[in-house]
Every structure is written in structure tokens, then in C-alpha cells.
Copies of this chain bind each other. A is one copy, B any other.
Amino acid sequence: MRSSGLKVFAPATVSNVTCGFDSLGFAIHQPGDEVVVRKSANRGLQITKITGDGGKLSSDPNLNTAGISALKMLSHIGEHDVGIEMELHKRMPFGSGLGSSGASAVAGVFAVNELLGRPLERRDLLPFAIEAERIACGSAHADNVAPCLLGGFQLIRDHATADITRLPLPSGLHVIVLHPNIEVLTSESRAILSTTVPLSDASKQAANLGAFVAACFRSDLDLLHRSMVDYLIEPQRAHLIPHFRQLQQIALEEGAIGCSISGSGPSIFALCHNSNEAERIGEHFTRLYTDDGIEHTLYVSAINQSGVTLY
């Protein structure tokens, strides 16, 4: 009889958190990707099933982040003979700015590591997920995979060396993520960015990120609020997202700590003091999009402190 397999869930992540372009990300509870793995008599890794991708993803493990991260890890530990079947169930939208490719990368490597009896520590899986992102997206980025793997708020000092730091956070914080059902490819959203920025904006952005980190350690929510300003990226991408400025204004007027674009968009996130505030702002968001006939999905979530998990 065929094994039912080992099932893992890798959460969506919000990256480019305001002042933390390419350096700050956190995990939420839903949505996310699911990967199922089981041992197989056939040598090597096979992706036997993909659902929820609308036929967009390759089942060649070398061309799919879930497969790439797992293969890189298997190669690293010198495991060339084991047979593994993998199923990937996409439970989150593509091109949403919620770290879809990263979630698959983390789910794949984490599942295979578990299946093999955990030859590596969780933290040590990070380079394989970063490598999968590099191959899939063209540049090594850890700001989705680090929080997806490890949970919480992660500051990435350097992607290539996986130099990351987990930031403490006051308890109770909740996040709203609003996803308008339009697809924005990371590559396209990157392409519109100016390759240079004013020095004055760069120094204000850095100071805000420094203050953001200090606010996390101090549990200073007012400072967190003041620091959550993006001088560099948001102004260049805001036009990609329907009603972005209006949504942001609503969120901030209703007391959100911060509100900006998630990843490279089009999802918008708002960091809130508690679930009530998040629910209230979420209702405003939904009303605005519904009134304007914009298809969308709303997620309300605490910060996911655990990252990828076994089901």
C-alpha cells in the first residue's frame, strides 16, 4: 500500500516591509503552500502532482522551486540514491507579492529533510531555499524564504551569506493582507524601479530601518509607526495597485501601525495593533474594492512565529 506521505505547510510572507526593501520580511498564517513527500522505489526526486497552479508550474524538479531547494539539499548531504515523490499544492496566488515561489522552495526542502529523518537543522535549510529563489527569480533573495522557514520578523543583512537576524515583536500584532486579483510579476515590478535613488532618500530610508529595528527591541509601537515609511520603492510602485493611496490612508486613519505594498505587489498589507483593528480595517478595504468591482481576497492573520510546519 502506498504511504499517505508526510505533509508540510509553508506560509505566505510579506516582504519589502516599508523601509525594509529587500531586507525585511515576516510570515503570516494563511495562505501558504502545501507539499507532500513520500519515499519511492524509483531513484531520485519526482514531482508527481501539482495542483492550484493553473498549469503554470513545471513538474521538472529542476525547474520548480520546491524541487530545486530539495535537490540542492540532497546533493549537499550526498544523498543521491533515495527515491522521493513530491506533490505540490499551491494554496496561494502567483505574482501576489506574498512569496509564492519562496513558500514552495521552503516547503520542498523542509519536507524532504523531515522525510529523511532531519539530517539538517531547520536553520541550515535556508541556503537551499535562497538558491532556489536565485535560480527561479534571477537573484538571491532571503526576505521571503527566511521568515517562511523560521517564522517571525526577519532582517536580512546579506542574502548571499544568509546573514539574518530575527527581530522581537510585541505580542498581539495582526496583519491584514489585501490581494487584488491581478498578477504582478516580480521581474516586471523590479524592472520599473529606478536604478538610482536620491542620497537624501537613501539616508532617510536607512534611518527608518534602524529605527524600525530599535522599535522592535523596545516594543515601542509609536516609533514603529513613525519608522514605517518607504521613501524609495512605494512611490514607484503605488500606481500598479488599484486605489493604493486611498487604502493606505484608510488604514493609517484607522490606527494601523503601518501600511504598504507587500513584496513587489499587488498585495497590500497593514500592520495592526490587534485583531479588532485588523478586522475593522479589513472591512473598509473590502468595501472599497467591492464597491469598485475589484475582485480580491482578504487575509487577516497574526504574525506567524513558527514558519513552515508539519501538518
Binding site for B on A (CB under 8 A): 19-24, 155-158, 163, 165, 167, 193-215, 217-218, 223, 226-227, 232
Can you name 9 extra interface pairs (CB under 8 A) apart from A157-B207, A203-B232? A21-B206, A22-B207, A157-B210, A157-B223, A157-B226, A196-B197, A197-B198, A213-B213, A214-B217
Query: Shortest 10 CB-CB distances between A and B: which pairs?
Result: A202-B202, A23-B207, A157-B211, A206-B206, A217-B217, A213-B213, A196-B196, A209-B210, A206-B209, A22-B203
A163 CA to B167 CA, complexed, in Å = 21
A197 CA to B205 CA, complexed, in Å = 13
A203 CA to B215 CA, complexed, in Å = 19
Q: Are A196 and B199 in contact (CB under 8 A)?
A: yes
Q: Are B22 and A210 in contact (CB under 8 A)?
A: no
With A163-B211, A211-B163, A223-B165: A199-B199 Cβ-Cβ less than 8 Å = no
- Give, as a whole number of angstroms, the nearest-CB distance from A34 to chain B: 31
Q: Are A155 and B214 in contact (CB under 8 A)?
A: yes
A213 CA to B197 CA, complexed, in Å = 23
- Give, as a whole number of angstroms, the nearest-CB distance from A22 to chain B: 5
A196 CA to B163 CA, complexed, in Å = 27
Q: Are B157 and A206 in contact (CB under 8 A)?
A: no
A223 CA to B166 CA, complexed, in Å = 13
- Give, as a whole number of angstroms, the nearest-CB distance from A200 to chain B: 8
A199 CA to B143 CA, complexed, in Å = 17
By a CB distance below 8 angstroms, the chain B residues around A217 are: 213-214, 217
- Give, as a whole number of angstroms, the nearest-CB distance from A215 to chain B: 8
By a CB distance below 8 angstroms, the chain B residues around A195 are: 198-200
A19 CA to B157 CA, complexed, in Å = 12
By a CB distance below 8 angstroms, the chain B residues around A213 are: 210-211, 213-214, 217
Q: Are B157 and A208 in contact (CB under 8 A)?
A: yes
By a CB distance below 8 angstroms, the chain B residues around A201 are: 202
Which residue of B19, B165, B202, B209 contacts A197 across the interface (Cβ within 8 Å)?
A: B202
- Give, as a whole number of angstroms, the nearest-CB distance from A169 to chain B: 13
- Give, as a whole number of angstroms, the nearest-CB distance from A208 to chain B: 6
A157 CA to B165 CA, complexed, in Å = 21
By a CB distance below 8 angstroms, the chain B residues around A23 are: 203, 206-207, 210
CB closest residue in chain B, given A223: B165
By a CB distance below 8 angstroms, the chain B residues around A197 are: 196-199, 202
Q: Choose among A20, A21, A207 the residue with the greatest number of B CB atoms under 10 Å from its CB.
A: A207
By a CB distance below 8 angstroms, the chain B residues around A193 are: 199
A211 CA to B20 CA, complexed, in Å = 11
Which residue of B156, B167, B206, B210 contacts A202 across the interface (Cβ within 8 Å)?
A: B206
By a CB distance below 8 angstroms, the chain B residues around A20 are: 206-207, 210
